[in-house]
Homo-oligomer: A and B are copies of this chain.
Amino acid sequence: MSEIKAYGAKESKADLKQMTIERREVKDNDVKIKITYCGVCHSDIHQVRNDWGNSKYPVVPGHEIIGRVVEVGKNVTNFKKDQLVGVGCMVDSCQECSACKDDLEQFCENGMVATYNGKDEHLGGHTFGGYSETIVVKKDFVLTIPENLDEKAVAPLLCAGITTYSPIRHWNVKKGDKVGVIGLGGLGHMGIKFADALGSHVVMITTSPEKAEDAKRLGADEVLISKDEEAMKKHANSFDFLLNTVPVKHDINPYLTLLKRDSTMVLVGAIEPLEPMHGGNLIMGRKRVAGSLIGGIKETQEMLDFCGKHNVVSDVEMIDIQHINEAYDRVTNSDVKYRFVIDMESLRK
């Protein structure tokens, strides 16, 4: 067991401050990582503020982790010292249930272990995330990062990236498909990049006309302002796939009218009750609405390799850990393009 510096919240709605946490020693199947960068995910804020009512304090957030291997256990052959690696939203699962066997550890029937605020079976208590100097993770949950990518900008791929890549792949988005990405934030901007990299016709769907220019820079072919009823009518029944990244309660009915017959809108953001859905919007056209949660480890590696090949990374704004509370307020106000990443060197000063 080793004591390390970390940044976290000691109680609900508290500011994040420097604290000391314990990390386990490296066991036979473990990889110890010196964290270089950690992305700031909206769910970090939800957990720190106990918005979902399941937070455990102290909370050390962070599940978009990039770093270098500093030590490996004796059974670890696929990672070596100094290698660039990543850790996402999960650090363990039962690896035996049908979901795990299907490479969908995020749906582990015995409960996946979240990177922070999960159950820590090694030290007891709960897990601590990436706003810290180091992390020790079972090898099966460590990702290989393509060395050609800008590692700072890779961090958000571990959550925002896989959260959008997974449904786009699972619902088989392909070249020429008309794909709508609803909401331009951390998730939405990755959705545009992936759909564009796959050759689909990407329509950014937003309530904010001022986002149009940036959406096009990111790869959108068109921008549809969802408050413009005439424009919405023109696009009715025309989309092969909709990726809905809106992170809060909203009305999905206008978006359902955009779908082609037999097509699907996937929710990846709103883990809360939505406005009432009209059954007729699904019945007319045999339409579907579905959800998707991050992605399994195998698919996360596939996504990283895809990003290496297509040179896809996140648009990031770098911060020192000392400015994390300001960053949280700015994320809450949608004032970031499009993901904050903490330079973890600042913690070591």
What residue in chain B is nearest A273 (Cβ atoms)? Answer: B276
Min CB distance, A275 to chain B, in Å? 7
Say yes or no: A282 contacts B267, CB within 8 Å.
Answer: yes
What size tier do the contact residues of chain A reach?
35 or more
Bound-complex Cα distance A66 to B107 (A): 49
Bound-complex Cα distance A154 to B293 (A): 45
Bound-complex Cα distance A292 to B170 (A): 22
Residue among A276, A281, A287 with most chain B CB within 10 A? A276
Cβ of A14 < 8 Å from any Cβ of B? no
Q: Which one, B269, B275, B285, contacts A276 given CB within 8 A?
A: B275
CB neighbours of A276 from chain B (8 A): 273-276
Give the oligomeric copy count. 2
Bound-complex Cα distance A292 to B262 (A): 9
Cβ of A1 < 8 Å from any Cβ of B? no
Min CB distance, A46 to chain B, in Å? 12
Cβ of A280 < 8 Å from any Cβ of B? yes
CB neighbours of A280 from chain B (8 A): 271-272, 291
Cβ of A132 < 8 Å from any Cβ of B? no
Q: Which one, B170, B274, B275, B287, contacts A286 given CB within 8 A?
A: B170
What residue in chain B is nearest A269 (Cβ atoms)? Answer: B279
Say yes or no: A107 contacts B285, CB within 8 Å.
Answer: yes
CB neighbours of A268 from chain B (8 A): 283
Bound-complex Cα distance A43 to B270 (A): 34
Cβ of A278 < 8 Å from any Cβ of B? yes
Say yes or no: A279 contacts B283, CB within 8 Å.
Answer: no
Chain A, residues 256-271, CB within 8 Å of chain B (1/0): the string is 0000010010011111
Say yes or no: A283 contacts B275, CB within 8 Å.
Answer: no
Name A's B-contacting residues (CB within 8 A). Answer: 99, 104, 107, 109, 170, 237, 261, 264, 267-293
What are 6 A-B residue pairs whose CB atoms fall within 8 Å in the complex?
A267-B282, A271-B279, A273-B277, A274-B279, A288-B291, A289-B289
